[in-house]
Structure 1
Amino acid sequence: MVQVTVWNENRHEKKNPVVRDIYPNGIHGAIAGFLEEAGFQARTAVLDEPEHGLTDEVLQNTDVLIWWGHLAHGEVSDEVVQKVQQRVLDGMGLIVLHSGHFSKIFKVLMGTSCDLKWREADDRERLWVIDPSHPITNGIGEYIQLEKEEMYGEHFDIPAPDELIFMSWFEGGEVFRSGCTYKRGNGKIFYFRPGHETYPTYHNKEIQRVIMNAVEWAKPVQRNRPVYGNAKPLETITEKTN
């Protein structure tokens, strides 16, 4: 069974009654809930827990980490970020959602500012499937339509994705690379744009399907990890004479 940890700041839920009404168990609770219903083993972790809930034991028992953050990126410990980065390099999958584009962990793994345009104006969003053969799009039609969402617009300052899965169009005219995959070390990363806290996006069945598909895609492969560093020859090296 795939073990998933859903990480969330859990700050909007405490400060904003609108968010609390939409996600009474927190964004993390909503995501963990539909993952458990689908047969995944899901736990949650939040910013204000010791080590942000991402202890060595939790990380070692996480196949895929889902990350949602917004208000408090700067409060995330650099030490925890380094541990998460190493786990990704070792093979743990990472799914970064919405405003997690500005998280320390995503910026470290991307090596860029990860900046973008944004607007809160109840834009309609249409997420077009760019790669219909990709397993993350399994069960999804030509596009997903969200009647109200926060706009993110290009230019999105990220490295060129290994694979571009979704491209969004917004009612105000902007477009955005909304589903991007990367490989870092032995791990796989998926950035997925939708999920502003004041909209019920994570209750949308198609959005849930994409996240579930992404968990299956990002889970570690079952193989021995490569060995790095100084290596003995596999064959006898012929002695060279001058």
Structure 2
Amino acid sequence: MIRVTVWNEFHHELTQENVKAIYPDGIHACIAEFLQEEDDITVQTATFSMPEHGLTEEVLSHTDVLVFWNHMLQEEFSDAVAERVQRHVLAGMGLVVLHSGHYSKIMRKLLGTSMTLRWRHGDRERLFCTCPTHPIAQGIPAWVDIPEEEMYGEYFDIPKPDDVVFTGWFAGGEVFRSGCTFTRGLGKIFYFQPGHEEYPIYHMPVIQQIIKNGVRWCVPMVRRPEPLDNAWVNPSTEEAYLESHQK
């Protein structure tokens, strides 16, 4: 089984009636529900207000892939918890980051750039599949029309992605690298732009399928259970070490 933790601020749903109407139990509950439809995925959820934001050492140690959504509480997020998540990703845990999570402390720590972009409120988006051979693109059409979404546009200050799986075009003429993959340490990261809280984007079956594909792609092949040490970098022991820690 793929062990997934879905994390959400759970702020807008409690403070804005229009968002609550779309996601009455929270964005995390919506995502958890469609992930739980899969026979090979088991899901737990965590939110900002929980102790240690629900991302304790124990939770992360039993998480294969973390799905992460945040927006308004970026700077209030604990530095210690962000560093803990960073450490687990470097050790092999997968990370799917959604929408405005690009600017999370976790992503800034992992990718090392400002993670800033151009944006404005509300536009039509056509999401093009620009790397159809990638596993995350399997079963996804050549493009997906999203009737209304927050516009994210270039320049997007990210390091060079391993792959740009999806590219968004907005009715105002802007384009955006909307689905990017990265590798940091032993961990795989998938950033996926669609998902502004005011629109029912996570109710769209094709968006749900992309996230399911992203979760499966991010599953760790190797998970390092302890910090980097001399044994890891010694070529004579690396092969045996990797073999002993294969999932």
Query: TM-score scaled to structure 1, two decimals?
Result: 0.93
For the aligned residue pairs, the C-alpha RMSD in angstroms reads: 1.8
Specify whether residues 140 and 234 from structure 1 end up closer, same or farther in structure 2 by C-alpha distance, changes over 3 A only.
closer
**Which residue type is aligned with residue 132 of structure 1?**
P
Structure 1 outlier segments of 4+, above 2 Å: 222-228, 230-235
Q: CA deviation at 1:229?
A: 1.6
Letter in 1 for 2:200: P
- The one-letter code matched in structure 2 to 1:192 is F
Q: Which residue identity does 1:221 align to in structure 2?
A: M
What CA deviation, in whole Å up to 9, does each residue of 1:113-155 have, x standing for no partner?
100011113x110110111000101110101110111100000
- Aligned partner of 1:14 in structure 2 is 14
* Aligned twin of 2:169: 169
Query: Partner residue of 2:244?
Result: none
Contact 2:13 2:19 (8 Å CA) reproduced: yes
Q: What amino acid sits opposite 1:126 in the alignment?
A: R
* 2:6 partner SS: strand
Residue equivalent to 1:87: 88
Aligned length: 234
CA contact (8 A) 2:186 2:223 kept: no
For the residues of structure 2 that align with 1:116 and 1:145, how far apart are their CA atoms?
22
| Unpaired stretches in structure 2, ≥5 consecutive residues | 238-247
SS at match of 1:74: coil
What displacement does 1:228 show? Answer: 3.8
Where does 1:52-131 land on structure 2 (aligned, <5 Å)?
52-121=53-122, 123-131=123-131
Superposition pairs for residues 195-234 of structure 1, below 5 Å? Answer: 195-221=195-221, 228-229=229-230, 234=236
Amino acid at match of 2:14: K
1:33 positional shift: 0.5
Distance, in Å, in 1 between the alignment partners of 2:224 and 2:106 is: 25
Matched, 1:149 2:144: no
User: TM-score scaled by structure 2?
Assistant: 0.91
For 2:235 and 2:137, the matched residues in 1 are separated by 43
Distance in 1 (alpha carbons) for counterparts of 2:66 and 2:8: 11
Tell me whether 1:182 sits opposite 2:153 in the alignment: no
**Residues 91 and 224 of structure 2 are in contact (CA less than 8 Å); yes or no, is this contact kept in structure 1?**
no
Letter in 2 for 1:97: L
> What is the deviation of 1:224?
7.0
Deviation, structure 1 residue 223:
7.2
| Matched-pair contact (CA < 8 Å) for 2:92–2:224 | no
Distance 1:234 1:100, change over 3 A: closer
2:243 counterpart residue number:
none
Task: State the 1:232 CA deviation.
Answer: 6.7
Quick one: distance in 2 between partners of 1:163 and 1:112? 17
**CA positional deviation for 1:37:** 1.1
| 1:240 matched residue in structure 2 | none
Q: Matched residues, percent identical?
A: 54
In 2 relative to 1, CA 234–99 (structure 1 residues): closer, same or farther, beyond 3 Å? closer
Q: 1:15: Cα distance to partner?
A: 0.7
Q: CA deviation at 1:75?
A: 1.2
